[in-house]
């Protein structure tokens, strides 16, 4: 892997493109993160923001390769929409119905996800990979995390969703899908906020007071009811997948109340390294992203 720093004085006719597709994408750190690493890798590639409306998304996916794109990341709210046009590259992507990484090859665009793997890598980096954990929400990122963790034998103890019946049906379909990876062990418990806030957790193996790591995939500004938060055990860690000024409100709330918390920057860097590894065809270490972007390791740890 090249390591000499390469900074092109201009973009020329041989420059290949990477990017991030979404709407909005103004808050995204991905262009800065990836371009700093591309300079270290001495690649004549450029990573650009690609604001695309949902109406024009299918056209962009069909034409991306012709426009010089090697690949793109996908941010909310398009992680599910791209699967309708792109081809899932593995059974996991097909099952969870989401992708955050696209690759153009010849006349096709392949889709896969690094969200779940990136969150698990963040857990391991911070010594949290053996903790029982819960997941707030069951959108695209949460599904990626739950499936990847379950396939690795470290499924969450509890998923909190506004539509628990829908989530249970989804988990049941994953469990019975004959394709690999097979999902062994019991499915995670699922409960609604209303049930948990009133302590009506049924036969759940582990209530909120037993879960020492919480991963929130809810949008900025969404904070669970006080009745639920009061049941987080002492010493619990809260990961708010939002990042950026004023966006990680749950992490701020948790720190104000004495919990250790982190925003989504750490998982974002892990996911970025996994996406770049996919595009270049060899492992790109997360530490290269931290070094190239001058991100102190303490910045991505959960702190009070």
Give the residue numbers annotated as catalytic, written as ranges: 79
Sheet holding 189-191, edge to edge: 189-191, 158-160, 133-136, 213-216, 237-240, 260-262
CA–CA gap between residue 80 and residue 147 (Å, rounded) = 15
Mutual angle of helices 265-280 and 30-41, in 10-degree steps: 40
Given its phi and psi angles, is residue 171 left (phi above 0), alpha (psi -120 to 50 degrees) or beta? Answer: alpha
Whether the Cβ atoms of residue 102 and residue 48 lie closer than 8 Å to each other: no
Sheet holding 16-22, edge to edge: 45-51, 16-22, 69-74, 101-105, 108-112, 87-88
């Amino acid at each position: 892997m090249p390591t000499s720093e390469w900074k092109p004085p201009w973009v020329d006719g041989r420059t290949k493109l990477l990017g991030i597709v979404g709407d909005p994408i103004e808050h995204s750190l991905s262009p800065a993160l990836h371009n700093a690493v591309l300079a270290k890798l001495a690649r004549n590639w450029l990573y650009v923001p690609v604001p695309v409306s949902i109406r024009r998304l299918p056209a962009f996916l069909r034409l991306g390769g012709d426009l010089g794109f090697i690949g793109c990341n996908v941010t909310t709210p398009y992680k599910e929409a791209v699967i309708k046009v792109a081809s899932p590259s593995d059974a996991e992507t097909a099952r969870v119905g989401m992708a955050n990484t696209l690759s153009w090859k010849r006349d096709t665009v392949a889709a896969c996800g690094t969200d779940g793997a990136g969150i698990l890598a963040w857990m391991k980096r911070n010594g949290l990979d053996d903790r029982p954990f819960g997941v707030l929400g069951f959108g695209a990122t949460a599904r990626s995390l739950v499936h990847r963790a379950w396939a690795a034998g470290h499924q969450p103890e509890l998923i909190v969703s506004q539509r628990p019946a829908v989530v249970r049906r989804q988990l049941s379909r994953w469990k019975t899908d004959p394709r690999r990876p097979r999902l062994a062990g019991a499915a995670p418990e699922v409960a609604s906020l209303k049930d948990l806030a009133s302590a009506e957790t049924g036969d759940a193996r582990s209530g909120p007071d037993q879960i020492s790591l919480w991963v929130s995939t809810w949008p900025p500004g969404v904070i669970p009811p006080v009745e639920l938060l009061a049941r987080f055990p002492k010493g619990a860690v809260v990961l708010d997948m939002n990042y950026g000024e004023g966006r990680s409100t749950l992490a701020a709330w948790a720190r104000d109340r004495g919990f250790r918390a982190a925003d989504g920057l750490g998982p974002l860097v892990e996911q970025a390294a996994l996406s770049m590894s996919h595009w270049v065809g060899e492992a790109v270490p997360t530490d290269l992203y931290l070094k190239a972007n001058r991100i102190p390791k303490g910045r991505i740890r959960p702190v009070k």
